[in-house]
Amino acid sequence: MIRELDILRRELMNVRNTTAMRKDFYNYQNDLNKITQSFITDVKKQAEKKKMNKVTLLAIIHE
């Protein structure tokens, strides 16, 4: 009986840890999307100020 309870406890801990990991990953993904969007916005603003063409803009993003 103790062995079964121990196994059940471990399985429940794994479920909780997996849920926490999914939540952390979701938050990380949202942060990454925000950073990417702000980067793209900044690059577009710089391109408009300097009147860059699309090829130059793609070269900046590629780096």
CB 39 within 8 A of CB 56: no
DSSP 51: T
Higher per-residue pLDDT: 29 or 21: 29
Distance in angstroms (rounded) separating the CA atoms of residues 56 and 20: 42
pLDDT tens digits along 23-43? 877 888 888 888 888 888 887
Q: Is the pLDDT reported for residue 22 higher than 80? A: no
Q: Which residues contact 52 (CB under 8 A, 6 or more apart)?
A: 46, 60
pLDDT of 51 = 73
Residue 39, Cα to own-chain centre: how many angstroms?
14
Kindly report the pTM of this predicted structure. Answer: 0.48
